[in-house]
Amino acid sequence: MIIETIVSTISADGAPNFAPMGARIAKEGQWSIVVYHGSRTYQNLRASRSCVINLASDVRLFVLTALDDHTPAYKMAATAKGATMDDADEALDFVVKSEMEMDGKTEFIGRITGRRVIKTPAAGYCRARGAVIEALITVTRKGVLPDSQIVDQLGRSRVIVDKTGGAEELEAMELIEKHWSEND
């Protein structure tokens, strides 16, 4: 199972980096993160072998950290080389045990060594949050996916967000659409 998260790593100079990515819950308590080569997350994770996996229900955080290089309010983690977002629902300290090279990316495999519950997320499942995440993933694939496929996904996501979303999801969708129109 893959959970959409915001991974925080620390650079050699101590600066935190936040990046949305899927974290996979693997067998026997192992987790893994697949990171593209050339990214700051990859460089930081290779050097430190540790990060914080932030679980968040506010989709705006995903959009801002993906599209605007946003640094949310945070506290440095005590036992991992990463930062815990103040607005995360939960933070997991992740330590790399092994890695597997793939075409243009690396899968970092490890264990959760610490857990902090920051706040209780809203109960239930909001379809609009999922639609925003799908739209975000799609626009970050510009140059990989055909533009027509991205536009189709944005349209489908917009319908779901308009029907089922609240203020947070509507704002997040508007940020994605603005990014797409400015970078199309």
- Smallest CA-to-CA distance from 95 within 105, 82, 86 is with 82
Q: Is residue 122 part of a domain?
A: no
Per-residue pLDDT of the chain (184 residues; tens, 9 = 90+): 899 999 999 999 999 999 999 999 977 779 999 999 999 999 999 999 999 999 999 999 999 999 988 999 999 998 899 999 999 999 999 999 999 999 999 999 999 999 999 988 777 788 999 999 999 999 999 999 999 999 999 999 999 999 999 999 999 999 999 999 998 7
Full domain range(s) for residue 161:
127-183
Backbone angles phi, psi at 140, to 5 degrees: -80, -5
Number of domains in the chain: 2
Structure tokens at 40: 């700051």
> Are both 169 and 97 inside the same structural domain?
no
> Are both 103 and 143 inside the same structural domain?
no
Q: Is residue 102 part of a domain?
A: yes
> Are both 42 and 65 inside the same structural domain?
yes
> Are both 27 and 64 inside the same structural domain?
yes
